[in-house]
Structure 1
């Protein structure tokens, strides 16, 4: 594996819950992200999947320094960016850009497409001379598959897929090394999703980009990702290559997610095992003791309430190298057909 350009260690983000008006008192906290670790290599795509509310979008905002973490480190090329500010932080932000989920609300409706894509050059004037910016913007529009003459149009004059292409062009303006894509295709039609995913794959090759691709659609994540991390209630519970996660899942939560993916073949659908989880997702203000998935797990035992499972290769697979030998935060990890 190539040298990582991004390392996340023990990332934590807690939002305080307060009571009172004049004299506010903290009575608890929402543990949106509660200890996330992963690495990202140059030219790699890391997919992060999980159900709504598991903390995926919070991780995206923390990586781009749009929010400050409560604890933990985010190292970009060996430097902890959580401790940076001022010019140093501004220089790092040039290399880590974000593509947002909603292609309409992420664009200013009062600005033209040319102004939206060219705005990064106003913040980082050293990236492009002032007289050359319009040409740069037109080149970016052409790169993402839009007519360069659209520079004077407004966001409401475009479809959803075209707006997301504008958002991608804005993210590419400063030639970053890393793009954090927070569910970039979830608001688009299926046919448009395929076009945007193919565009992102082409841009990754042309611009030598690394992606952190966040989504809840498992099929899309498998198509574009080199490695996949599965999140549940603020933590990554399983991580590995796409083959390891999709063919040899060992964590019961990952197995339940895979069993819920629709299968177009009626015969295959009849012969697969459907795992239905019981209960609701616990509140992030009151996380269960031990394994946080134990309240819904079909493998849960008494030991699960006492021990916090580490994200590591399960002991049962350590002596047998193979696709099942990947990190999984489960005390009773096993491969089961789904």
Structure 2
């Protein structure tokens, strides 16, 4: 197994809550990300899933150094991105690019497609000689399935799927090793989603890319991901391969998420148990003690309020082969098979 190209260790991001207009006094913090760790290997896709507000997009911004972490490490080839600035950070950013969620707001409406895709060359002029940049942009448009003659058009002249292809072309311009895709298909129609995901899979193979793919659509994440991490209230609660997470989930939260995915077979749909969670997601400014999921969990016991369960292989599966033996942050983790494969 290849060495990780990106290692995230105990990543924390707290946004301060203040009170007062003139003398702003800190009265608390929103714990958007609270101890996240994972590895990403060359050519691999790690999918991150979870409800809105669980901290997925904050993780993406931290990896791109758009936000600075409160604590923890983001190691790219052994170098901590969180401690870099200036030229050193600029050099790392060339190798870690991002595809944003909304193709309608992530492109400057006053710039042509040629200027948008070619802008990375202005920031990193060593990536392409000035005289060849126009041709390079045309090649990138062709790679993502757009007519190179569209180079002088503006974003408003394209559909949502075409705009996202432009965003992907911009991300590929500097030939990065890692692309952070923050819900890249959530704003698109279902048929267009499949086209963009298939494009990303083809580009991954062609350019040897590693993806951090963030989404809330569990079916899409399974289609593209090698490994999956499930987040809840700022923490990863379960992680494993697509088979381990989707066919043999052990954390109650993962089981509840999967039970909500539609099954395209009426008979299987009627046989499947639907898990309805009680209550609302707690505030990240005041998370529950112990296990953060315990306020909505049907398995919760007194232990869950007192001890925060570590993300580790459950004792029931320790030392045993099989897809149930994967890390899960639950005191009472147990395997629950799904009725149908997505």
TM-score of Structure 1 vs Structure 2, range by shorter chain: over 0.9
Q: Secondary structure at the match of 1:94?
A: helix
| Contact 1:101 1:186 survives alignment (8 Å) | yes
Is 1:8 the counterpart of 2:12? The answer is no
Partner of residue 193, structure 2 = 193
> Hey, what's the Cα distance between the residues in 2 that align with 1:213 and 1:337?
25
By how many angstroms is 1:18 displaced?
A: 0.5
Match of 1:226 in 2: 226
Give a deviation string over 1:105-164, Cα, whole Å, max 9, x none.
Answer: 000000000000000000000000111000000000000000001010000000000000
Q: Report if aligned partners of 1:273, 1:337 keep a CA contact under 8 Å in 2.
A: no
SS where residue 5 of structure 2 aligns?
A: strand
Give CA-to-partner distance per residue, 1:227-262, whole Å, 9 cap, x none.
000000000000000000001100000000000001
Give the structure 1 partner of residue 213 of structure 2: 213
Residues 73 and 82 in structure 1, CA contact (< 8 A), matched pair in contact too: yes
Match of 2:75 in 1: 75
Deviation sequence 1:69-101 (CA, Å, 0-9, x none):
111000000111100011000000000000000
Q: How many Å separate the matches in 2 of 1:206 and 1:264? A: 33
- How far, CA to CA, are the matches of 1:27 and 1:212 in structure 2? 34
Counterpart check, 1:40 vs 2:1: no
Hey, what does 2:299 align to over in structure 1? 299
Q: Which runs of 5+ in 1 are unaligned?
A: none
Secondary structure at the counterpart of residue 333 of structure 1: coil
User: Cα distance, 1:21 vs. partner?
Assistant: 1.3
Q: In 1, distance between residues paired with 2:319 and 2:68? A: 41
| Structure 1 residue 336 displacement after superposition | 1.8
| Aligned-partner Cα distance in 2 for 1:201–1:269 | 30
Give the alignment's Cα RMSD to 1 decimal. 0.6
User: SS of the counterpart of 2:219?
Assistant: helix
Distance 1:222 1:2 in 2: 22
Kept in 2, the 8 Å contact 1:45–1:211? The answer is yes
Q: Is the 8 A contact 1:317 1:325 kept in 2?
A: yes
**How far is 1:337 from its partner?**
3.2
- Distance in 2, matches of 1:79 and 1:153, equals 40
Superposition map of 1:1-338 within 5 A: 1-338=1-338
What is the distance in 2 between the residues matched to 1:288 and 1:2?
A: 38
Alpha-carbon offset, residue 224 of structure 1 = 0.2
Query: By how many angstroms is 1:319 displaced?
Result: 2.8
In the aligned structure 2, how far is the partner of 1:319 from the partner of 1:20?
55
Separation in 2, partners of 1:227, 1:319: 21
Q: Is the 8 A contact 1:47 1:229 kept in 2?
A: yes
Q: Deviations over 1:252-291 (max 9, x none)?
A: 0000000000111000011111111000000000000000
Q: How many equivalent residue pairs?
A: 338
Long gaps (5+) in structure 2:
none
Q: Secondary structure at the match of 1:295?
A: helix
- 1:285 is paired with a residue whose SS is coil
CA distance in 1, matches of 2:277, 2:104: 35
CA distance in 1, matches of 2:144, 2:269: 38
In the superposition, the TM-score normalised over structure 1's length comes to: 0.99
Following superposition, the deviation at residue 177 of structure 1 comes to 0.1
Task: State the Cα deviation string for residues 39-90 of structure 1 (Å, max 9, x = none).
Answer: 0000000000001000000000101111111110000001111000110000
